[in-house]
Copies of this chain bind each other. A is one copy, B any other.
Amino acid sequence: MSSQTVPSAPGQSEFDRATTVRDRGDGATFDVDVDSGWTVGPKPNGGYLLATAARAAGAAVVAAGSEHVHPLAATAHYVRAPDAGPAEVTVEVLRLGRGASQARTTLSQGGEPCVDIVFTLGTLPPPDVAPEPWWTGPAPFDVAPYDECMPLQANPPGAEFTVSIMDRADVRLDPAVLGFALGQPSGRGELRGWISLADGRLADPLALLFFLDALPPATFELARTGWVPTLSLTTYVRAWPAPGPLRVRQYVQSVDQNRIDEVCELWDSAGRLVGQATQLAGIRIPDGVEAPTPER
């Protein structure tokens, strides 16, 4: 785990720089630079945009007098994909509550709305002082040890485009779910492995938003399909994670009428379920591609 030995301090890391928001002075409009290093092909990654907008939402809620700086939930709709370059985030505070607040953000570029996100915000204590979860049903899922997992590359041999977020996130997949890389998907529709920030910055609630949309589509382990365009993405941050790489799992439940759902889970090194996501996405199954038999 060499990437964890000298953690960048929050504020100095490439994640903090790339998600920077600059208040125009009204506490509601923020300038951002969509960074070309956080992309899938030519387009910025959805989780990276989520984390950027979350910083604007937190700043606006604090400017309105609340302490709810952390994202607890975010529901995102990508109306059109922005390009790398200048953009703005406007924040509408919907509610300032006692335990949670809500804000809607719109990321626009050239006057055109691109991403619409509603955030639920609250305050999450750091892992050394947070109370234990009251109850968790499932146990953390099984995954091969960190050192036996394979790091994903931004430019794997034969790839059609660069996935630059794989230089930002250190994503290591369990060898059992790497069949897709050899043209032999497992047929189980699940990816699992470990995730952390590549520059060693410790994960926090904001980083979880990025992690929850950083894996390749779990459909890669069903059949040879492309990346899947997100129609609706929902993320929950349940707790501030303990230090160390996180277990990450993403799986599909159903492929029906050219749409898939995908669930993502993050568990921290202390065995806590810290992040959850679900998305509905479009998919095109090429003609003649047969579905694998489900394992039941």
Q: Within the assembled complex, what's the spacing in Å between the Cα atoms of A95 and B232?
A: 13
| Distance to closest chain B CB from A90 (angstroms) | 14
* Contact call B130/A255, Cβ cutoff below 8 A: no
Q: With CB as the reference atom, state the residue of chain B lying closest to A284.
A: B99
A118 CB contact (under 8 Å) in B116, B124, B139: B116
Which one of A16-24, A159-167, A275-283 is at the interface? Answer: A275-283
Query: How many copies of this chain does one complex carry?
Result: 2
A257 CB contact (under 8 Å) in B239, B285, B296: B239
- Classify chain A's interface size: 35 or more
A135 CB contact (under 8 Å) in B99, B136, B137, B254: B254
Chain A 239-292 interface residues, beta-carbon cutoff 8 Å to B:
239, 251-259, 261, 272-273, 276, 278, 280, 282, 285, 291-292
A-B contact pairs, 16 of them (CB 8 A): A75-B118, A102-B231, A120-B232, A131-B257, A134-B285, A136-B255, A137-B252, A137-B253, A137-B254, A138-B253, A138-B294, A236-B278, A238-B259, A239-B256, A253-B273, A261-B276
